[in-house]
Structure 1
Amino acid sequence: EEVNAGSITIGDRDVTHLPPKDRDIAMVFQNYALYPHMTVADNMGFALKMANTPKAERQKRVQEAAALLGLEEFLNRKPKALSGGQRQRVAMGRAIVRQPQVFLMDEPLSNLDAKLRVSTRTQIAALQSRLGVTTVYVTHDQVEAMTMGDRVAVMKDGVLQQVDSPLSLYDNPKNVFVAGFIGSPAMNLIDGKVTEGGVQVGDFVVPVERETLANASGEDTLTVGIRPESFELSDGDGFGLDVAVVEELGADAYLYGTQAGLHEDEKLTAQQIVARISTRTPPQRGETVRLSIKPGMVHVFSKENGDRLN
């Protein structure tokens, strides 16, 4: 794509109009793109060879990268003799030997199975920390983004929604999209009518500060966001939940259900609510429980444009 406004800088260097080969960016893709007829060592050193790097320097860099990635014993093997995780490390090694200013990794783990993704994810994070090279990591997996990123940029339909630290994204999402995307299970996003002192959800009024309600600019319906862990079991007043599924995790449990008091046919289309309860004796399926909300843990969004109001 052409740059139609602004500039792109890497460090203090303007690369806006530089050809790709001169930008000093090394890329790692979902597709490993290894040459099948070359050994691991030759694959890793190929870009250096094309750049006319002296052979001794080339071998030195390949050996250093192989040691860093645990690939020393595989240097003389062909890609077909390697596992998926090992091939991915070779692709990373090929980028590392270039000693670039920036790494660009485009979904590098998407071809790996779930277990290998977790282990490789931690390896990449540790590697980036050791190398100290700025890394732009593209992923659709919010868990990868949250666990690996120092700063996370959330995009929707090509538009930047929010850039922040993982914890700030989780605690202070800028809009409904970010709120629903970041976190697993996702934040509960519930529409309710504006009423005196809060937002009416079923027979319960979610307390909302007057200043926040004033920011709603006359909207009569707002979206309240509540993280699953922000609920607590209550003996008295609270949000009523008809429990449909209980997932026991040992020290705590997830309750899945719908707003209490709905008819069976209404429950089929009703929004599912998720609550994380810290108890070893959770409610059972079919029970109706009351949930209170921890103070200060309610997020409020405009129903019209999805923007955060509090």
Structure 2
Amino acid sequence: MKGQITMATVTYDKATRLYPGTEKPAVDQLDIAIEDGEFLVLVGPSGCGKSTSLRMLAGLEDVNGGAIRIGDRDVTHLPPKDRDIAMVFQNYALYPHMTVAQNMGFALKIAGVNKTEIRQKVEDAAKILDLTEYLERKPKALSGGQRQRVAMGRAIVREPQVFLMDEPLSNLDAKLRVQTRTQIASLQRRLGITTVYVTHDQVEAMTMGDRVAVLKDGLLQQVDSPRNMYDRPANLFVAGFIGSPAMNLVEVPITDGGVKFGNSVVPVSREALSAAADKGDRTVTVGVRPEHFEVVEANGGATKTLSKAADDAPAGLAITVNVVEETGADGYIFGSADVGGETKDLVIRVDSRQVPEKGAQLHVVPRPGETHVFSTSSGERLSD
């Protein structure tokens, strides 16, 4: 089927959606250029504008400003039927009285395609999706994952230029969700169809997308590859949203040569400190991933040998262990620390064979070169 499908770029050009009676746009001047065959994931918290952005592309929401293009066609004000897209919904939207084959071929039947061609397209799609043996079954005889694959098949047989997927895995249990997301990503790469996928699950976004676009309050925060977004979040919101468990974010004072982190001074680039000074910030927000902490001392026994502070107190930030989660290969310490007179919750990843007990006291420092520095006032990234 791949050779029959025409791919297309998708361009959001300052696309804006303002609902009647509201002052703040649901989507505000969205600018994204999606390449031929690319899998782009729109992700963000509830109400961020991701589903609205998808519906604007589908023609289900008006575009009040800017433009949307598929290939070289301006589709901003075209009806959905003229956009050459296929949409996969969260709730499958299958006809219960029809067989799998009839569900998959229904749109082609309505379009007047002859029965022989419909059957061939349905069988081709069923083979791709491992649904051949289920073609004569009704939806009620299928599992949730199989129903979602039928919905995918219905989209595939239309041979669209663009796939649109609106949280298609939300109704599946955890294990099936992992399995199905792998199948969808593999299928998309096999077919090479440009795909825009909406999810609230950042793990889903990071594992499926060629690129990920993070939205908040209708504004695009960052669009990048999953690896770049993880390694270089553009601002505090992206830093706290991308990653599971999330990045630890701690506001700390600026000092000579870096920032004060408990009893230690963590080196920070001159450029970052200069940028903070230009903004009038006396503190910066340091971000550290759970896996980028070193444990200095736990209950008096050092798990890592690092330099002591000048007063011979343990180096780093003092942590009280509240909860320990062991996941097999790794252990996660959920602890609390006193930072500037406020209690701050932190998560540290450790070797599962060296986890401390609940209530233990330990000290942690960031690994050299593994800190992210953000402006406390604006939230933007300051470090390289």
Partner of 1:299 in structure 2? 372
1:157 shift after superposition: 1.3
User: Aligned to 1:111, what secondary structure does the other structure show?
Assistant: coil
CA deviations over 1:235-282 (Å, ceiling 9, x no partner): 3422222222222344432122122699xxx8xx72211111236223
226-235 vs 55-64, which moves further: 226-235
Matches within 5 A, 1:163-202: 163-202=223-262
Partner of 1:19 in structure 2? 79
Partner of 2:130 in structure 1? 70
CA contact (8 A) 1:260 1:288 kept: no
**RMSD over equivalenced CA pairs, Å:** 1.9
Separation (CA, whole Å) in 2 of partners of 1:154 and 1:289: 35
1:79 shift after superposition: 1.3
Partner of 2:343 in structure 1? 270
CA contact (8 A) 1:202 1:259 kept: no
Q: Aligned letter for 1:33?
A: A
CA deviations over 1:87-124 (Å, ceiling 9, x no partner): 11111110010000110000000011111101111111
Partner of 1:253 in structure 2? 331
Q: Percent identity?
A: 66
- Gaps in structure 1 of 5+ consecutive residues: none
Q: Aligned letter for 2:362?
A: V
Partner of 1:140 in structure 2? 200
Q: Aligned letter for 1:242?
A: T
Partner of 2:221 in structure 1? 161
Q: Aligned letter for 2:320?
A: D
CA contact (8 A) 1:179 1:187 kept: yes
Partner of 1:36 in structure 2? 96
1:146 shift after superposition: 0.3
Number of residue pairs matched by the alignment? 305
- Gaps in structure 2 of 5+ consecutive residues: 1-60, 297-304, 309-314
| TM value normalised by structure 2 | 0.75
1:223 aligns with 2:296: no
CA contact (8 A) 1:242 1:260 kept: no
The equivalent position to 1:209 in structure 2, one of 269, 288, 296, is: 269
Separation (CA, whole Å) in 2 of partners of 1:261 and 1:26: 51
User: Aligned to 2:362, what secondary structure does the other structure show?
Assistant: strand
CA contact (8 A) 1:150 1:165 kept: yes
1:24 shift after superposition: 0.5
Partner of 2:318 in structure 1? 240
Separation (CA, whole Å) in 2 of partners of 1:208 and 1:69: 51
User: Aligned to 2:205, what secondary structure does the other structure show?
Assistant: helix
The equivalent position to 1:2 in structure 2, one of 46, 59, 62, is: 62
Separation (CA, whole Å) in 1 of partners of 2:327 and 2:122: 45
Q: Aligned letter for 1:32?
A: Y
The equivalent position to 2:115 in structure 1, one of 10, 33, 55, is: 55
Q: Which has the higher contact order (CA 8 A, sep 6+)?
A: 2
Matches within 5 A, 1:109-148: 109-148=169-208
Separation (CA, whole Å) in 2 of partners of 1:71 and 1:274: 43
Separation (CA, whole Å) in 1 of partners of 2:176 and 2:352: 32
Q: Aligned letter for 1:305?
A: S
CA deviations over 1:115-161 (Å, ceiling 9, x no partner): 11011111111111111101111000001000000000000111111
Partner of 1:308 in structure 2? 381
